[in-house]
């Protein structure tokens, strides 16, 4: 796995200078703005990524949703600016709130939903309702979240904001309208964190990020996160998860950017290690799991 | 190379370098768990587990007589209707369900009192069985002192149905010291796509050398062959097991779930626990049995139930059936209660050793006398029909 990690690093190390070489040089006076800060899109502005959600600037703030997921799992996040920056380097604050009804996605099979992947498909209960008692699929849920983002800019000697420090605090939970809560997925950490409220668990998170423009067209970002998920009483895994991110955003045109990086996760997934003990017999230990995931997206903003 | 500079005049590459270095050091320091263990070996030694405090075993006698049991324990799911059985949708048990089912398995093992126990579908760290370490559980709650666990399926996360982490395998338990344990890889299925194959079970033969007295060793082998392939994988695995058995120079007991009928099976299709219409995945449709592949074992080894005792009719053979997907509290589409309806589990020993008369049997149900009406017993008190979808097979093995 170390080899894979080094290969990832190598790809990153080669890709960044190469991409920089082809990056547009015209109109470079404007610094590529930082992402995921307390700033919200202005009215009439839009942004979308291949994987990132559609963001729409409205009079009430910024609306955020994934258009393709919307049909089977209606959801929306609203980011409202509580305090905007009056000049570069100021603190700014925004409030994040969101609602989703994920249950449709748990009931529809691929390609529209995830039934049979991550959660049971309950095919037998569907065809033979008399045997439906052993179906453990999450019921109909309403998931909600509420959070706060605070960002502070750092200006250089020319008065331009090159660095942005952001702090994000958020709590999310779900209310079961019909049926039952889902069991924890115990999936890969990013999936576990993302899906916790969508199966009926609660999730609290604190994330701190620093984003710095090393050139007008290139930003580097580092982030640390801590998460607390709710767990049923008989669950053996720790509810605490930690994450770290390092990556870069590269301007590819006046309206587009490429983001790439790697995310590290540390969670308790009941990983077992068997070693030879001092008596010559097997000895079992349970350790926390490390995961490293590449991140990549192409974003448009207009 | 681009030499754009920041306003401070430094090359941005110089700024980038420490970030990349930090990233590299962090990545290199992280030893990530593979998504699924590819079980990349042909034959490898495995570690032996020991009971925390040993229970001194009885002297095996001369010639040594050892009670052996082979049992597919269905990861302590007892008769809970799991999704791939197509009679229910269960994907995961609670810790309380597993604890209760394990307690019943301990009681049954105590009753059968094996000197050597071979288990299949035993789990040590699976989400569906509440991460219960069943090898440790059996060691600490029965009189068995040593165990070798042969992992055959170790996936970090199986997304299908939300199965999650799985660590399943076969095990050999013994009251006497296991001096060497190794697993021998079996061939894989070739009829699956690469992604499915990556996260699928990898079959292996478990082999243990057991020292019953100073300098007196014998070999136990546990097997569990493929159940759902359509490319002849199971037949290849069975052939490989036969070849391995014939190569042994030490006295051998071979046991497990072969997922195959005996060569003289009267009923080979249309089992009562099959659904009349497909209600779950095609992946779990039973392919046709090929009983002839078991004949070489009857020719070259000694079965615990020989074919003359097994009989020729369904009515005679029913007494030795070892498997049913449906338990006695459930009924099929015609309303028939579940009961053992085919033989898939076996015990064989090498020629030169023997089975003690009146000792061999299938532990099918409460009230049954092991070995038949005039058998050596005991009369069973545990409810074997409700403990697993397989019945234990057992016999007293005499090794000269």
Query: Over 50: is that where the pLDDT of B309 sits?
Result: yes
Give me the pLDDT at residue B40, please: 86
User: DSSP code of A216?
Assistant: T
Contact by Cβ (8 Å): B152, B119: no
Site from A200, A282, A288, A291 to mutate, B interface, most B CB atoms within 10 angstroms: A282
Helices B12-29 and A2-22 sit at what angle, rounded to 10 degrees? 160
Which class for B247: exposed (0-12), middle (13-18), buried (19 or more C-beta within 10 A)? exposed
Contact by Cβ (8 Å): B122, B149: yes
Query: Over 90: is that where the pLDDT of B147 sits?
Result: yes
Site from A30, A118, A180 to mutate, B interface, most B CB atoms within 10 angstroms: A118
Gap between the Cα atoms of B13 and B111, Å rounded: 72
Contacts of B96 in chain A (CB under 8 A): 234
Burial A95-108 (b: 16+ CB within 10 A, else e): bbebebbbbbbbbb
Contact by Cβ (8 Å): A142, A174: yes
Contact by Cβ (8 Å): B151, B135: no
Pick the range with the lowest mean pLDDT from A9-23, A29-43, A158-172, B31-45.
A9-23
Closest by alpha carbon to A270, among B161, B99, B33? B33
Residue B92, min C-alpha distance to chain A (Å): 8
Contact by Cβ (8 Å): B202, B166: no
Per-residue confidence band for A26, with pLDDT thresholds at 50, 70 and 90: very low
Gap between the Cα atoms of A210 and A216, Å rounded: 16
More confident site: B146 or B22: B146
User: DSSP code of B2?
Assistant: -
Give me the pLDDT at residue A134, please: 83
User: Would the CB atoms of B162 and A122 count as touching at under 8 Å?
Assistant: no
Gap between the Cα atoms of A176 and A103, Å rounded: 10
Contacts of A279 in chain B (CB under 8 A): 50
- In angstroms, the Cα distances linking A84 to A38, A90, A156, B33, B264 are 8, 8, 20, 44, 83
Residue A278 makes CB contacts below 8 A (sequence gap 6+) with none
Query: Over 50: is that where the pLDDT of B5 sits?
Result: no
Helices B134-141 and B95-112 sit at what angle, rounded to 10 degrees? 50
Query: Over 50: is that where the pLDDT of B16 sits?
Result: yes
Residue B113, min C-alpha distance to chain A (Å): 24
Give me the pLDDT at residue B8, please: 44
Gap between the Cα atoms of B376 and B195, Å rounded: 50
Q: Are strands B301-303 and B354-355 parallel, antiparallel or unpaired?
A: unpaired
User: Would the CB atoms of B89 and A183 count as touching at under 8 Å?
Assistant: no
Residue B204, min C-alpha distance to chain A (Å): 19
Query: Over 60: is that where the pLDDT of B2 sits?
Result: no
> Which of B22, B49, B89 is closest, CB to CB, to A134?
B89
> Which of B130, B161, B279 is closest, CB to CB, to A128?
B279
Gap between the Cα atoms of A240 and B244, Å rounded: 48
Q: Looking at residues A37-42, what average pLDDT do you find?
A: 94
Give me the pLDDT at residue A256, please: 95
pLDDT digits (tens, 9 = 90+) for B173-217: 999 999 999 999 999 999 998 988 888 999 999 999 999 999 999
Give me the pLDDT at residue B27, please: 59
Residue A13, min C-alpha distance to chain B (Å): 7
User: Would the CB atoms of A186 and B133 count as touching at under 8 Å?
Assistant: no
Contact by Cβ (8 Å): B324, B339: yes
Closest by alpha carbon to A218, among B77, B2, B302, B243? B2
pLDDT digits (tens, 9 = 90+) for A84-137: 988 888 999 999 999 999 999 998 888 888 888 889 988 888 888 888 778 888
Give me the pLDDT at residue B296, please: 98
User: Would the CB atoms of B164 and A186 count as touching at under 8 Å?
Assistant: yes
pTM to 2 decimals? 0.89
User: Would the CB atoms of A234 and B162 count as touching at under 8 Å?
Assistant: no
Contacts of A127 in chain B (CB under 8 A): 277, 279
pLDDT digits (tens, 9 = 90+) for B316-347: 999 999 999 999 999 998 999 999 999 999 99
User: Would the CB atoms of A1 and B19 count as touching at under 8 Å?
Assistant: no
Interface of B with A in 114-173 (CB under 8 A): 124-125, 127, 130-131, 133, 136, 149, 156-157, 159-162, 164-165, 167
Query: Over 60: is that where the pLDDT of B113 sits?
Result: yes
Give me the pLDDT at residue A29, please: 58
Q: Looking at residues B98-117, what average pLDDT do you find?
A: 98
User: Would the CB atoms of B28 and A5 count as touching at under 8 Å?
Assistant: yes
Closest by alpha carbon to A260, among A50, A41, A46, A45? A50
Please count the other Cβ atoms lying within 10 Å of the Cβ belonging to residue B59.
9
Give me the pLDDT at residue A257, please: 96
User: Would the CB atoms of A156 and B159 count as touching at under 8 Å?
Assistant: no
User: Would the CB atoms of A12 and B23 count as touching at under 8 Å?
Assistant: yes
User: Would the CB atoms of B47 and A282 count as touching at under 8 Å?
Assistant: yes
Residue B389, min C-alpha distance to chain A (Å): 17
Closest by alpha carbon to B118, among B77, B72, B152? B72
Contact by Cβ (8 Å): B118, B127: no
E strand residue ranges, B52-113: 64-72
- CA angle (A275 as vertex; A269, A281 as ends), nearest 5: 130
**Start-to-end CA span in chain B (Å):** 80
Interface of B with A in 46-65 (CB under 8 A): 47-50
Gap between the Cα atoms of A288 and A267, Å rounded: 6
Residue A66, min C-alpha distance to chain B (Å): 22
Q: Looking at residues B98-127, what average pLDDT do you find?
A: 98
Q: Are strands B116-123 and B64-72 parallel, antiparallel or unpaired?
A: parallel
Q: What percent of chain A has pLDDT over 90?
A: 67
Gap between the Cα atoms of B139 and B173, Å rounded: 8
Closest by alpha carbon to B210, among B132, B147, B156? B147
Q: Looking at residues B339-358, what average pLDDT do you find?
A: 97
User: Would the CB atoms of B88 and A131 count as touching at under 8 Å?
Assistant: yes
Contact by Cβ (8 Å): B286, B234: no
Q: Which residue in A has a C-alpha nearest to residue B24's C-alpha?
A: A9
Q: Is the peptide bond before B63 cis (omega within 30 degrees of 0)?
A: yes
User: Between chain A and chain B, how many beta carbons pairs sit less than 8 Å apart?
Assistant: 176
Residues pairing with B331 in the sheet: B337
Give me the pLDDT at residue B30, please: 62
Residue A268 token pair: 């308790």
User: Would the CB atoms of B23 and A234 count as touching at under 8 Å?
Assistant: no
DSSP A44-108: T-EEEESSSPEEEEETTEEEEE-HHHHTTS-EEEEEEEEE--SSTT-EEEEEEEEEE-THHHHHS
Gap between the Cα atoms of A89 and A82, Å rounded: 16
Contact by Cβ (8 Å): A152, A168: no
Q: Which residue in B has a C-alpha nearest to residue A12's C-alpha?
A: B20
**Lookup result for tokens 């005049």:** B9
Closest by alpha carbon to B214, among B180, B177, B187, B188? B177
Give me the pLDDT at residue A2, please: 43
Give me the pLDDT at residue A187, please: 94
Q: Looking at residues A249-262, what average pLDDT do you find?
A: 95
pLDDT digits (tens, 9 = 90+) for B232-250: 999 999 999 999 999 999 9
ipTM field: 0.87
**Lookup result for tokens 């046709």:** B288
Per-residue confidence band for B49, with pLDDT thresholds at 50, 70 and 90: very high
Per-residue confidence band for B26, with pLDDT thresholds at 50, 70 and 90: low
SS3 assignment, position B348: strand
Site from B6, B47, B162 to mutate, A interface, most A CB atoms within 10 angstroms: B162
User: Would the CB atoms of B32 and A276 count as touching at under 8 Å?
Assistant: no
More confident site: A1 or A302: A302
Closest by alpha carbon to B213, among B176, B163, B242? B176
Per-residue confidence band for B20, with pLDDT thresholds at 50, 70 and 90: low
Average pLDDT across chain B, whole number: 92
Site from A22, A267, A272, A286 to mutate, B interface, most B CB atoms within 10 angstroms: A272
Give me the pLDDT at residue A70, please: 85
pLDDT digits (tens, 9 = 90+) for A16-25: 444 444 455 4
User: Would the CB atoms of A186 and B279 count as touching at under 8 Å?
Assistant: no
Gap between the Cα atoms of A165 and A276, Å rounded: 47
Contacts of B80 in chain A (CB under 8 A): 134
> Which of B92, B149, B280 is closest, CB to CB, to A183?
B92
Residue B87 token pair: 């009679």
Q: Looking at residues B366-387, what average pLDDT do you find?
A: 96
Gap between the Cα atoms of B59 and A39, Å rounded: 79
B88 touches chain A (CB under 8 A): yes
Residue B282 makes CB contacts below 8 A (sequence gap 6+) with none
More confident site: A123 or B119: B119
């Amino acid at each position: 796995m170390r080899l894979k990690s080094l290969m990832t690093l190598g790809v990153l190390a080669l890709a960044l200078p190469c991409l920089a070489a082809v990056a547009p040089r015209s109109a470079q006076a404007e610094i590529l703005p930082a992402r995921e800060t307390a700033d919200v899109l202005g009215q009439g502005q839009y942004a979308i990524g291949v994987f990132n959600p559609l963001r729409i600037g409205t009079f009430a703030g910024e609306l955020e949703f994934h258009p393709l997921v919307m049909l089977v799992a209606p959801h929306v996040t609203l980011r409202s600016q509580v305090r905007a920056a009056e000049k570069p380097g100021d603190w700014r604050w925004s409030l994040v709130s969101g609602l989703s009804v994920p249950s449709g996605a748990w009931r529809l099979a691929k390609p529209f939903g995830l039934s049979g992947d991550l959660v049971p498909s309950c095919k037998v209960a569907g065809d033979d309702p008399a045997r439906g008692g052993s179906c453990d699929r999450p019921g109909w849920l309403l998931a909600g979240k509420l959070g706060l983002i605070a960002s502070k800019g750092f200006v250089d000697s020319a008065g331009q904001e090159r660095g942005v420090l952001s702090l994000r605090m958020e709590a999310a939970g779900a209310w079961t309208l019909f049926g039952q809560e889902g069991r924890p997925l115990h999936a890969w950490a990013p999936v576990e964190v993302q899906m916790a409220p969508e199966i009926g668990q609660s999730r609290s998170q604190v994330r701190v990020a620093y984003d710095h423009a090393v050139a007008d067209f290139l930003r580097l970002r580092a982030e640390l996160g801590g998460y607390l998920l709710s767990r049923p009483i008989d669950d053996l895994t720790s509810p605490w998860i930690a994450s770290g991110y390092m990556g870069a955003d590269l301007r590819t045109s006046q309206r587009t950017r490429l983001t790439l990086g790697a995310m590290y996760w540390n969670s308790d997934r009941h990983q077992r290690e068997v070693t030879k003990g001092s008596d010559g017999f097997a000895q079992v230990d349970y350790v926390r799991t490390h995961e490293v995931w590449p991140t990549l997206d192409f974003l448009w903003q207009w | 190379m681009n030499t754009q500079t920041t306003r401070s005049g430094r090359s941005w590459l110089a700024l980038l370098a420490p970030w990349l270095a930090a990233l590299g050091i962090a990545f290199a320091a992280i030893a990530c768990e593979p998504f699924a263990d590819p079980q990349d070996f042909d034959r490898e030694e495995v570690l032996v587990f020991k009971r925390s405090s040993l229970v001194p075993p009885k002297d095996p006698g001369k010639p040594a007589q050892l009670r052996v049991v082979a049992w597919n324990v269905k990861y302590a799911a007892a008769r809970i209707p799991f999704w791939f059985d197509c009679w229910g949708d269960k994907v995961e048990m609670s810790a309380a369900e597993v604890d209760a089912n394990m307690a019943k398995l301990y009681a049954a093992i105590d009753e059968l009192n094996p000197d050597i126990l071979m288990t299949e579908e035993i789990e040590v760290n699976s989400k569906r069985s509440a991460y219960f370490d069943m090898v440790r559980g059996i060691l600490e709650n029965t009189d068995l002192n040593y165990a070798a666990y042969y992992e055959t399926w170790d996936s970090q996360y199986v997304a299908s149905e939300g199965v999650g982490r799985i660590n399943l395998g076969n095990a050999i338990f013994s009251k006497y010291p296991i001096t060497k344990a190794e697993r021998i890889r079996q061939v894989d299925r070739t009829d699956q796509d690469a992604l499915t194959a990556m996260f699928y079970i990898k079959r292996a033969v478990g082999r243990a050398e057991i020292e019953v007295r100073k300098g007196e060793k014998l070999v136990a082998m546990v097997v569990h062959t493929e159940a759902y392939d359509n490319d002849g994988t199971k037949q290849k695995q069975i052939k490989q097991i036969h070849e391995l058995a014939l190569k042994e120079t030490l006295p051998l007991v071979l046991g497990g779930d072969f997922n195959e009928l005996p060569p003289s099976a009267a009923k080979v299709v249309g089992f009562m626990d099959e659904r009349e219409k497909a209600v779950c995945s095609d992946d779990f449709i039973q392919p046709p049995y090929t009983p002839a592949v078991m004949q070489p074992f009857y020719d070259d080894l000694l079965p615990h139930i020989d074919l003359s005792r097994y009989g020729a009719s369904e009515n005679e053979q029913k007494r030795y059936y070892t498997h049913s997907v449906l338990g006695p509290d459930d009924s099929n589409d015609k309303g028939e209660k579940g009961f053992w309806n085919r033989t898939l589990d076996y015990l064989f020993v090498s020629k030169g050793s023997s089975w003690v008369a009146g000792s061999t049997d299938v532990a099918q149900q409460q009230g049954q006398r092991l070995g038949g009406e005039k058998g050596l017993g005991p009369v069973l008190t545990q409810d074997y029909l409700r403990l697993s979808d397989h019945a234990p097979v057992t016999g007293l093995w005499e090794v000269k």
